[in-house]
Structure 1
Amino acid sequence: MTDHPERVRLRGVIHADLEAFLTFEHDEEAVRRSRFTPRPRDAFLTHWKSAILGDDTCLVRTVTVDEEPAGHIVAWWEGDEADSRRRFVGYWLGRPYWGRGIGAEALGLFLREEVNRPLYADPFAGNTASVRLLEKLGFQRSGIVRHGEDEHLLLVLPAPAPAPPPPRTS
């Protein structure tokens, strides 16, 4: 049950979504909370078209609310060596959609599609709303990472514990 009347859905990204994503990325409060430096339009579009949409190992979805783009969620691989590769998830919601349960619902839907575990996230440590959202969905604190001058939390959604073997019958 959701605490809002809107219909939250995920769908594939279409070209028109990128303009909304660019606007969301340049929101001053979102930049302050995420500690993410927004890219100029051309760099943003190039990154999205090549590094995200052009990478068939990325799982990327547009979050919609009542069929309007509200943000995006992306999962990607980091690391080159098989033993050091990690699957990460990141998301961005436009400010009009904050604080309404939309992020939790959208990420919950996404985690049904993205089956790789463990799954990592590294939000800015001061972005308490994002940290709470991830923890609500089962992510656990695993450490600290630095991105430039900023401290980020490393959170992990672990692989489920293996099921116990069935009882032996004689």
Structure 2
Amino acid sequence: MELREVRPSDLDEFFAHQQEPEANLMAAYQARNPSDRAVFDHHWNSILNDPSVIVRTIEHEGQVAGSILVFEGETPEINFWTSTKFWGKGITTSAVDAFLAEYTKRPLVAHVVQDNLGSLKVLERRGFRQVGTEQIFSNARAEVVTEIILQLDN
């Protein structure tokens, strides 16, 4: 697993990952229509041109496995997305470890839908602890879900 700068060609892979139904269910902040490439391109253009966002491509054996980023704000927030074909192989765990070694500002928060057990496990094993919950609307599920707010202090 390697973290690297995002290349323009990575966006095609990120868009394909966004089409995976199971991954969509685990994502709380998903586009209303994940197959709308124009909305996707606008969103990623905003991310890549925002100096307060640090983003990396997760690459595994030459393939784009996903992305990981932090939105720097009052309290920085980490987000990651891994293609379902890479789930259960330790790739996300390795990516989060590498990113946390590179990005050392604390506290750092994460928001995870309560039934996204894989992401919760990755974060909790890295020292994130639950600090709250909130109800949000999930476009992918078309319903209100409970999101767990986690924080890493050191």
* Structure 1 counterpart SS, 2:118: helix
The structure, 1 or 2, with the larger RCO (C-alpha pairs under 8 Å, 6+ apart) is 2
Report deviation, 1:107.
Answer: 0.6
Q: Which of 97, 101, 104 in structure 2 is aligned with 1:115?
A: 104
Structure 1 moving runs of 4+ over 4 Å:
none
Work out the CA distance in 1 between the residues paired with 2:22 and 2:83. 10
| TM-align CA RMSD | 1.2
How many residues are treated as equivalent by the alignment?
Answer: 145
Q: Which of 93, 113, 117 in structure 2 is aligned with 1:104?
A: 93
Q: Which of 9, 15, 35 in structure 2 is aligned with 1:22?
A: 15
- Tell me the amino acid that sits aligned with residue 63 of structure 1: I
- Cα offsets for 1:71-109 (capped at 9, x unmatched): 00010034xxxxxx2110000000110001111001100
Per the alignment, residue 140 of structure 2 pairs with none
Per the alignment, residue 4 of structure 1 pairs with none
Unaligned stretches of 5+ in structure 2?
138-143
CA contact (8 A) 1:11 1:61 kept: yes
Alignment map for 1:48-87 (pairs within 5 Å): 48-50=44-46, 52-78=47-73, 85-87=74-76
Q: With the length of structure 2 as denominator, give the TM-score of the two structures.
A: 0.89
Per the alignment, residue 91 of structure 1 pairs with 80
Q: In the alignment, does 2:40 pair up with 1:44?
A: yes
Report deviation, 1:33.
Answer: 2.3
- Tell me the amino acid that sits aligned with residue 68 of structure 1: Q
- Tell me the amino acid that sits aligned with residue 5 of structure 2: G
Report deviation, 1:25.
Answer: 1.2
Identity value in percent: 30
Higher Cα Rg: structure 1 or 2?
A: 1
Alignment map for 1:120-131 (pairs within 5 Å): 120-131=109-120
Report deviation, 1:36.
Answer: 4.1
